[in-house]
């Protein structure tokens, strides 16, 4: 029995020959079992043991756009990295201590760099500026005056005393797109609260949904609203740039973690807003669908997502109980959801006769969504097996490091990965010298 295709350990020698890069490294799995999805995927595409340089594509859509990045930690840096991947020139402004995430370890890369910092700071140049120093502050203001986009996530009002708030920057640079990211908005009581994802997960209601019904609330496994706010800021910046193309006007784009949470909780928020229902914790269950959760098998759990009548009928066929799909108690989606406690033991009794791998193959073959519960390692390896090539080479030559691919692909261009995450202040002198010239960008 074959296992999930994969890579093992940190990837550093990014210049290996293809023959070595494509060696297969099977996982160790309990009881000798394979991870569901491993067999077919391995035959289709073996995961490389590292990243290959990207082939150059067409010109990138944000080439010539200069971004002054005064943000730190996650939401803002994630937004600017995505924009940099698409061609924008991003100058990361850091204090003398650097972005907080530089010290967020473990885990580390083999060279000691925080993987958290590295995950969101490629394709940028770093300048260290101390706003208490008159010359450094003047450099920061000059950078903001030249920028097409300024992005910051200071506490509301925190940049005003430095002349780097929206009103001050827009007075000198009326065409600027100024993006602010806060925790709870810029008006009223929310303006005084700092923006931490964990706090917003709690106060937005997300944690009331996460965990077992009879257990404590849990945070999501990532800083989900930081990521959402970064994505929403990216959308806002791109929309404002498009509007500027039409009108010539700059704009102030505001995003907050709390607003992103209200939007990002989608059906759960609307259950209350539109239906007057307050959702509560249901573990892995779905409030409106069944079966749509983790299900036990003869060995490992799998996710089964039979979201409509056709899929449920096919699930019952594979399990050898086609009559259940015809049972009037379970005929419609709402019936199955209302009677999940009745239906669950019927399905579990049949699922126990099959391994997770068998169900993965048989259910997907008939169009019933089914998948394993992977580790992050296995998830990356499976993405490789599917041909998604999630691991890319960032930077060139000896400075190249592994990174995660930009989430979008295009048939006309390739996102860039030419600059490894910068060392603190790596480009300070270069950028200060450029600010004394009339050149449009430092590239």
**388 neighbors 45 (Cβ within 8 angstroms):** no
Q: What b/e readout covers 114-129, taking b as 16+ CB neighbours within 10 angstroms? A: bbbbbbbbbbbbbbbb
CA distance 336 to 325: 10
Q: Which residue has the tokens 């996530």?
A: 153
Beta bridge partners of 92: 69, 126
Active-site annotation holder among 85, 197, 226, 299: 226
Cα(333)–Cα(312) distance, integer angstroms:
9
With beta carbons less than 8 A apart as the criterion, state whether 127 and 91 touch: yes
Residue 197 among the catalytic residues: no
Element (H, E) at 48: none
The C-alpha atoms of residue 369 and residue 354 are separated, in whole angstroms, by 16
Residue 327 carries which DSSP code?
-
Q: What burial letters (b/e) apply to 26-39, b meaning 16+ CB within 10 Å?
A: bbebeeebbbbbbb
Active-site residue set: 226
């Amino acid at each position: 029995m074959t296992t999930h295709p994969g890579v093992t350990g940190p990837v550093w020698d990014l210049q290996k020959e293809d023959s070595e890069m494509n060696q297969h490294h099977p996982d160790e799995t309990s009881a000798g079992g394979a991870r569901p999805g491993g067999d077919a995927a391995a035959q289709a595409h073996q995961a490389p043991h590292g990243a290959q340089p990207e082939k150059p594509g067409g010109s990138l859509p944000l080439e010539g756009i200069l971004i002054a990045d005064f943000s730190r930690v996650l939401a803002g840096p994630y937004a600017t990295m995505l924009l940099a991947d698409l061609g924008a020139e991003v100058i990361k402004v850091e204090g003398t201590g650097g972005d907080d995430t530089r010290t967020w370890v473990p885990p580390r890369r083999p060279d000691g760099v925080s993987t958290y910092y590295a995950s969101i700071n490629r394709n940028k140049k770093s300048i260290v500026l101390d706003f208490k120093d008159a010359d450094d502050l003047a450099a920061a203001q000059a950078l903001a005056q030249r920028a097409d986009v300024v992005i910051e996530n200071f506490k509301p009002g925190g940049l005003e005393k430095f002349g780097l708030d929206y009103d001050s920057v827009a007075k000198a640079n009326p065409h600027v797109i100024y993006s602010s990211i806060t925790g709870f908005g810029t008006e009223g009581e929310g303006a005084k609260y700092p923006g931490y994802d964990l706090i917003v997960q709690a106060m937005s209601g997300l944690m009331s949904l996460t965990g077992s019904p009879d257990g404590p609330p849990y945070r999501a496994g990532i800083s989900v609203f930081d990521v959402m706010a970064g994505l929403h800021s990216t959308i806002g910046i791109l929309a404002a740039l498009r509007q500027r193309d039409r009108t010539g006007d700059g704009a102030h784009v505001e995003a907050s973690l709390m607003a992103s949470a209200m939007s990002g909780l989608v059906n759960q928020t609307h259950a209350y807003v539109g239906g007057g229902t307050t959702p509560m914790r249901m573990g892995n269950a779905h409030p409106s669908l069944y079966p749509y959760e983790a299900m036990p098998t003869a060995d490992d759990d799998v996710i089964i997502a039979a979201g409509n009548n056709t899929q449920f009928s096919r699930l019952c066929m594979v399990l050898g109980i086609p009559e259940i799909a015809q049972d009037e108690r379970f005929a419609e989606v709402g019936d199955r959801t209302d009677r999940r406690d009745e239906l669950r033991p019927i399905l579990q009794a049949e699922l126990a006769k099959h391994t997770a791998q068998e169900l993965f193959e048989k259910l997907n073959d008939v169009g019933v969504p089914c998948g394993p519960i992977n580790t992050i390692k296995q998830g990356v390896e499976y993405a490789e097996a599917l041909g998604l090539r999630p691991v890319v080479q960032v930077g060139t030559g000896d400075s190249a490091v592994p990174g995660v691919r930009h989430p979008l692909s295009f048939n006309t261009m390739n996102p860039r990965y030419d600059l490894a995450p910068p060392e603190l202040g790596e480009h300070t002198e270069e950028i200060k010298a450029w600010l004394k010239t009339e050149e449009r960008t430092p590239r």
